[in-house]
Amino acid sequence: MAELTEYKPHESGETNFGYQNHDEDAEKNQVYTEVQPPENPGSSHPQGRCSAFIGVAQRALGTWVKKNRRQLIIGIKAVVFLLYFAYFGYAMYYRFGDEGSIRLLACTVLGVLILLLSLTSDAIIQKLGAICASVNLSRRQRAGTILRWVLYVLMAGFAVIFVIVDIALREPRNLMSLTGMAFFVIVLYITSTDPARVNWHPVFWGMSLQYIFALLIIRTTWGYDAFQWLGDRVTELLKYSNAGAQFVFGDKYTYHMFAFQVLPVIVYFSSLISVLYYLGVMQSIIGIIGRFLAFCLDTSATESLNAAGNIFVGQTESPLLIRPFMETMTRSQLHAVMTGGFATVSGSVLGAYVSYGVNASYLLGASVMSAPAALAISKLTCPETEVNKIDEKEVYKMEAGSSHNVIEAASSGASTAIQLVANVAVNVMAFLAILEFFNATLVWFGDRVGVDGLTFQFLCSYVFYPMAFLMGVDTQDCRRVAQLIGYKTFTNEFVAYIEMGKLLDNGKVYSNYTATFGPDAPIEHNGLDVTLTQWGTVLIGGFLTARSELITTYALCGFSNLGSMGIQLGGLGAMAPNRKTDLSRLVLRAMIAGNVACFMTACIAGLFFNQR
């Protein structure tokens, strides 16, 4: 307990303590002097001497810790690192060969690679810079130009040969997706802000990275199995949110799936991401991916880092990584930041989509492939025409989170999710209600002139039919997918995935039907609805084929909709108030570019589709 400070007035000699009442006039005329306690209180008592000794020891220890803080942290990390590898070695010896051991091995190898890259990336870049600086400038430029064209030719040649040999000859149906890619590129080039200034290097390599990622994820057996395994692990990870939902809402929480099962996933994942930020894991991963994109596409550090962040976090969270530089970014860089936000989804809501039965491995593939796609499409529709004034080295110096420990980080992440959960919930309620009202109005107007079934879904099924067809969707599913694209663009992707989940559930029923009566079991089509003749069951809206499911999952995986325009303007405008005018002028073009980036990713997926 703190000691009371004793004061003595010069005039009266009376003792008082600050909380006593005095006459106001007397107080004005009195001057108080503080009486200090003895230097060594209770020094003659053993307990006092012990207290004094402990105080001195605490101060000495605190001073030593502050002076050697860096060495202590390194030592603690080294001990933890050695203990982990001792555990890892024994775990591999004790039991190897099952799924758990493979998971432990894969996570350990990945973690070591990320650690090594994060520690050595700056040294590698400096070394390469020193090597380049030692070479004559003209020779360096000439060698760089030759190497660039050699890589162009090799990549283009490989892509053409693979498409002819492995796709055109085996699955020519997939070539329709290639037509869609060409269509989107041509349209965006024609409508570009400055077609003559388009730098085709980031466009070419952004699409090339999509091509390579799709080849590894979809076409190769080991890549497909790896992403399928990752998708299963994500699904498994998200199931742990049920424990919190069950505790808060009771055993019957599954009766209200959206409110009590889907939304808690967002809270759980947001908290998890916040902990990873506190531990520095996210910064290391995002920094490595950002440098990789900047190296391959020759884009600036700010837009590359933002694109890497969009793989994991949302359209208003990722720009926080580059917030100090937004005031001086060029218009093209701002457009790239906005397009990246529209072309991807955050990890938090990705988990919610999985809850509706959407394939987790498809969502992971879409998240990875959309990062280079967003940069490529952005540089095509809004090319760089200004000089970059930002120091690239400063961009990668990302700060850790403001939390002081893991508990605070987890709590902060959960609290941050409150706004996101509320935003998702109220938007879904509002858009579905407005959609129902809009549909009722359209039906009424259609009924006045003898037109039945005039709804928003009906209009979208024809307006976006060409988009679905060009992406390679199976013909019988084009109207269904066109409806989902309309949901995503005019409401949000959450509503689109909810509707897609219904089609996926119908697909499971149809699979059970064909398993019972054979693949040629009779069905009847009534518009978009499908009737299972033998069962007499009507599948409202029908179902999607495997190809259509893959393409649709990729096409919908982005925040590019009208509602997100306001969200992004509000978030980015608060970070860079002086750039609000530029942001408002770019937002519509960026939203369209984000949508096209998703469609391009879907085209690549359709090109490499392989029925397994």
Contacts 24+ apart (CB under 8 A), 106-114: 114/281, 114/284, 114/285, 114/288
Q: What tokens were used for 205?
A: 């390599």
CA dihedral 291, 292, 295, 300 (to 10 degrees): -50
Which pLDDT does position 143 carry in this prediction? Answer: 63
Q: What tokens were used for 485?
A: 């694209």
Task: Answer yes or no: are the C-beta atoms of 327 and 577 closer than 8 Å.
Answer: no
Q: What is the DSSP string of 95-157?
A: --SSHHHHHHHHHHHHHHHHHHHHHHHHHHHHHHHHHHHHS-HHHHHHHHHHHHHHHHHHHHH
User: Could you give the angle at which helices 241-249 and 221-239 cross, rounded to 10 degrees?
Assistant: 20
Taking CA atoms, 421 is separated from 276, 499, 569, 572, in Å, by 20, 19, 19, 20
Other Cβ atoms closer than 10 A to 436:
12
The burial class, CB within 10 Å (0-12 / 13-18 / 19+), for 573 is middle
In tens, the pLDDT along 498-514 reads 899 999 999 999 999 99
Question: 0.75 cut: is pTM over it?
Answer: yes
Paired with 524 in beta bridges are 531
pLDDT per 10-residue tile (average), the chain, 612 residues: 43 41 47 48 61 81 84 86 90 85 85 77 64 58 72 88 87 90 94 92 92 88 84 80 84 77 81 84 84 88 90 81 86 94 84 84 88 94 88 73 81 83 81 86 88 86 93 93 92 88 93 89 87 90 93 92 84 86 92 94 91 68
- Rounded CA separation 28/354 (Å): 73
In tens, the pLDDT along 207-239 reads 999 999 998 888 888 888 888 888 888 778 878
